[in-house]
Structure 1
Amino acid sequence: MTIVNSAFSVLSEDFAADPYASFAWLREHAPVHYEPGIDSYFLSRYQEVKRVLTDHEAFTTETLQVRAEPVMRGPVLAQMTGAEHTAKRKIVVRGFTGQALQDQVRAIRADAAELVAPLLARGRMDLVNDFGKPFAVYATLDILGLDKSDWRQVAQWHSGVAEFITSIGLTSERRRHCLDCAEQLEAYLVPVIEQRRRHPGADLISRLCTAEYDGLAMTDREVTALVINVLAAAVEPADKTLALLFKHLIDHPEQFAQVRSDPGLLPAAIAETLRYTPPVQLIPRQVERETEFAGGTVPAGATVFCMIGAANRDPEAFCAPDEFDIHRADLSTARSFTAAAQHLAFGTGLHQCVGAAFARAEIEAVAAMLLPLLDQVRYSPGFRYQETGLYTRGPASLCLDFTPVHDFTPVRTGIAG
């Protein structure tokens, strides 16, 4: 039986302003919340969210055929199962591990250094818009082997792709805009893919072009879909997590001082940031057969949204979950970027985020570079903090004042501004 609570909606302005204020109420009173306007269910308890994400036969990714495939220009990894999923995921993962990851970390540091250099003298920056967003695109273009001089255009196309995937409701005009962005991104990638087939390098696009699945090379459409998949997965969380990390440390000055004096605590601070305020808030699944949860019944064929932010604040899973604590004993830092992670910021199970190891290396490398460069970090006068996003969520901006450390020489990488 579906129980509709007309007094509450995850689509309301109040929820958009601060979803965290409603999570405890949802877990207690409406753990299977139904939204009639979009005919979908929202799950907020940790165990039920984890159950959905790990049982890929009872809860499938069929919904992504509508939510993602049109802008990915083909099936994405999360839609695949069996041998196809294993083979293609392995190809992508190899691009984020071992020597490839070490090379990426060097490029990440160089990109970040050049981007932050002109900001240091000001003693003020918007960590999201001045640094985080362009940096996230730079780093991803490095992985793919794409020209960073195109970063603004690629960022614009990516924005349309991300809007399509993460919007609960799109007007026909916005839908057309998003599809146009995807089509232009595909047109940009096709000649690159053709060139990499002829002259492969060490980048991820080359790896995809030269890899085989079932004895055959992947088609241009398959490679394009995986490239856009990586672009969306790598860009979307990076700027949000970096800004959220600094926000929480500024709001907890004692822990900030500990991280500054002991950089070995930085991975724990990043892991706690991912638990406390995960950049990906919703993960959709389709229910294959009528299913009972503690809070009600969901019919076959229905869409359920796993509420990652609510699950990560469930007291059944974490002690004092509404407190930011880099020293918490119930969050293993070593496991926090693997399939065994206690938090669910990267999902879990078969379709856990393929770029988790890269995300850790990326955010850790940049934060480790920024922390000693920015002394006495505080919010800029008059700054008012605001988060945005229902599906993915992060600061709209993070305006900071700081005392710059001047003995800093950026590594030149030839990035065009």
Structure 2
Amino acid sequence: MPVVDPRFSILSEDFAAAPHRHFARLRDRSPVHYEPAIDAYFLSRYRDVQRVLTDHETFTTETLQVRAEPVMRGPVLAQMTGAEHTAKRKIVVRGFTGPALQDQIRAIHANAAELLAPFLPLGRMDLVNDFGKPFAVRVTLDVLGLDKSDWRQVAAWLDGVGEFVTSVVLTPERRRHCLDCAEQLESYLVPVIEQRRRHPGADLISQLCTAEFDGIAMSTRDVTALVINVLIAAVEPADKTLALLFKHLIDHPRQLAQVRRDPALLPAAIAETLRYTPPVQLIPRQAERDAVFADTVVPAGGTVFCMIGAANRDPDAFAAPDTFDIHRPDLGVARSFTAAAQHLSFGTGLHQCVGAAFARAEIETVAALLLPRLDQVRYSPGFHYRETGLYTRGPAALSLDFSPVREGVAGRG
């Protein structure tokens, strides 16, 4: 039987307020933490998390059949293995790399400039709600070839889908709401998918519709699930990472000044942001056989949550891990957006995030656009910073003041 600590719970409000304050205690005293309310094990040490994410035979993604498939409207990439996974992953990755990525960078820049323009003369902006959230949805709709004017409705549906996937505890009422959102999103996508089958273009949906696996075209259900997979994977981390990047640089003015002087440091600042405060904090797996961690047995069939935030701050993996340092020598910036990344923020192994290259291009492009325009950037008077989320986590808002930009100056660069 697992040992239960009645004095501490990862599901508590205390933990939710500031998870990072508890990471060291978990790694040192309870590296295999059991939560009886949800019958799940939480792993916080880097080596244990890395083991789970790379041992695909012992730790599978079966849990996603319950956690994701009902709202994704079909199997997602993380549920697939073997030839099917390789073929379908390659199709999606191709849509986010090479020539396609260069086209997307232009779309990223155009969307960011358009959204930013009204705020530049004002000298104030909520980087999360005024900019980050609408930007992430609009850019992803561009990539998929969907109508950007629908972004508010799509965002509302995605909120429901994301809530279903990332909630550790979900009431029956919220579950119904999430499923309703998924059904409406599916109804929105299916006519588009069927139209792209008849008249394909250069967008990612068209590529999915015209691709074949084992000589057979993917069904509408298959394509719908992959499109929703892409929407969630591309939208969910982007606004959080952008806001967290600016928060950390504002909190470390010397490093902010260095990035302003030398834009070549921007990838390091993004990589360190991902390590220090990963937007995806938990990755679930299911044990297929008994597994032992720190003298504790996780039984076959048990649900395991990999605590990415805690693993990324493990002193066995990073020196001074609770310090934000864009110059740290143990980060490996060049590989930080690949499967060989030292941090675990994109996962690792077979199911490492397919959108890592796109995420890098997206955040780099937007940050490079924002930094010279948000001169003397600082928190707005009276602003109180707060983060939310257990599974995925980021700022609820980030109200910033900066030197207003005169009309006509904003479009330069």
Pairwise same-fold verdict (TM > 0.5): yes
Aligned to 1:120: 120
Aligned to 2:267: 267
Write the mapping of 1:99-248 to structure 2, written as runs, cut at 5 A: 99-248=99-248
Write the mapping of 1:363-378 to structure 2, written as runs, cut at 5 A: 363-378=363-378
Aligned to 1:414: none
Looking at structure 1, the residues matched to 405 and 273 of structure 2 have their Cα atoms a distance apart, in angstroms, of 26
TM-score by length of 1: 0.98
Deviates most, 291-300 or 79-88: 291-300
Aligned to 1:408: 409
Aligned to 1:415: none
Write the mapping of 1:25-44 to structure 2, written as runs, cut at 5 A: 25-44=25-44
Question: Which SS does the other structure have where 1:313 is aligned?
Answer: coil
Q: Shift in Å at residue 19 of structure 1? A: 0.3
Aligned to 2:319: 319
Residues 161-214 of structure 1 show CA distances to partners (whole Å, capped at 9, x for unaligned) of: 000000001111100000000000000000000110011111000000000001
Aligned to 2:335: 335
Looking at structure 2, the residues matched to 30 and 189 of structure 1 have their Cα atoms a distance apart, in angstroms, of 45
8 A Cα contact 1:114 1:410, kept in partner: no
Q: Shift in Å at residue 121 of structure 1? A: 1.0
8 A Cα contact 2:373 2:410, kept in partner: no
User: How many residue pairs get matched?
Assistant: 411
Return the letter of the residue paired with 1:310.
A
8 A Cα contact 1:71 1:182, kept in partner: yes
8 A Cα contact 2:73 2:221, kept in partner: yes
Alpha-carbon RMSD: 0.8
Question: Which SS does the other structure have where 2:403 is aligned?
Answer: strand
Write the mapping of 1:338-417 to structure 2, written as runs, cut at 5 A: 338-406=338-406, 407-410=408-411
Question: Which SS does the other structure have where 1:279 is aligned?
Answer: coil
8 A Cα contact 1:161 1:182, kept in partner: yes
Unmatched 5+ stretches in structure 1: 412-417
Looking at structure 1, the residues matched to 194 and 297 of structure 2 have their Cα atoms a distance apart, in angstroms, of 49
Looking at structure 1, the residues matched to 197 and 117 of structure 2 have their Cα atoms a distance apart, in angstroms, of 37
Deviates most, 401-410 or 72-81: 401-410
Percent of matched pairs sharing the same residue: 81
Q: Shift in Å at residue 409 of structure 1? A: 4.7
Q: Shift in Å at residue 405 of structure 1? A: 3.3
CA change 1:287–1:175 in 2 (3 A) is same
TM-score by length of 2: 0.99
Looking at structure 1, the residues matched to 295 and 378 of structure 2 have their Cα atoms a distance apart, in angstroms, of 43
Question: Post-superposition, which runs of at least 4 consecutive aligned residues in structure 1 deviate over 2 A?
Answer: 404-411
Looking at structure 2, the residues matched to 171 and 164 of structure 1 have their Cα atoms a distance apart, in angstroms, of 10
Question: Which SS does the other structure have where 2:185 is aligned?
Answer: helix
Deviates most, 112-121 or 288-297: 288-297
Looking at structure 2, the residues matched to 362 and 232 of structure 1 have their Cα atoms a distance apart, in angstroms, of 15
8 A Cα contact 2:123 2:405, kept in partner: no
Return the letter of the residue paired with 1:334.
A
Residues 77-117 of structure 1 show CA distances to partners (whole Å, capped at 9, x for unaligned) of: 00000000000000000000000000000000000000000
8 A Cα contact 2:65 2:79, kept in partner: yes
Question: Which SS does the other structure have where 2:102 is aligned?
Answer: helix
8 A Cα contact 2:127 2:398, kept in partner: yes
Looking at structure 1, the residues matched to 208 and 127 of structure 2 have their Cα atoms a distance apart, in angstroms, of 33
Return the letter of the residue paired with 2:409.
F
8 A Cα contact 2:121 2:405, kept in partner: no
Looking at structure 1, the residues matched to 192 and 138 of structure 2 have their Cα atoms a distance apart, in angstroms, of 17
Looking at structure 2, the residues matched to 57 and 351 of structure 1 have their Cα atoms a distance apart, in angstroms, of 13
Q: Shift in Å at residue 297 of structure 1? A: 1.0
Return the letter of the residue paired with 2:253.
P
8 A Cα contact 1:63 1:303, kept in partner: yes
Looking at structure 2, the residues matched to 377 and 296 of structure 1 have their Cα atoms a distance apart, in angstroms, of 48
Looking at structure 2, the residues matched to 46 and 325 of structure 1 have their Cα atoms a distance apart, in angstroms, of 19
Q: Shift in Å at residue 296 of structure 1? A: 1.1
Write the mapping of 1:275-314 to structure 2, written as runs, cut at 5 A: 275-314=275-314
Looking at structure 2, the residues matched to 190 and 409 of structure 1 have their Cα atoms a distance apart, in angstroms, of 39
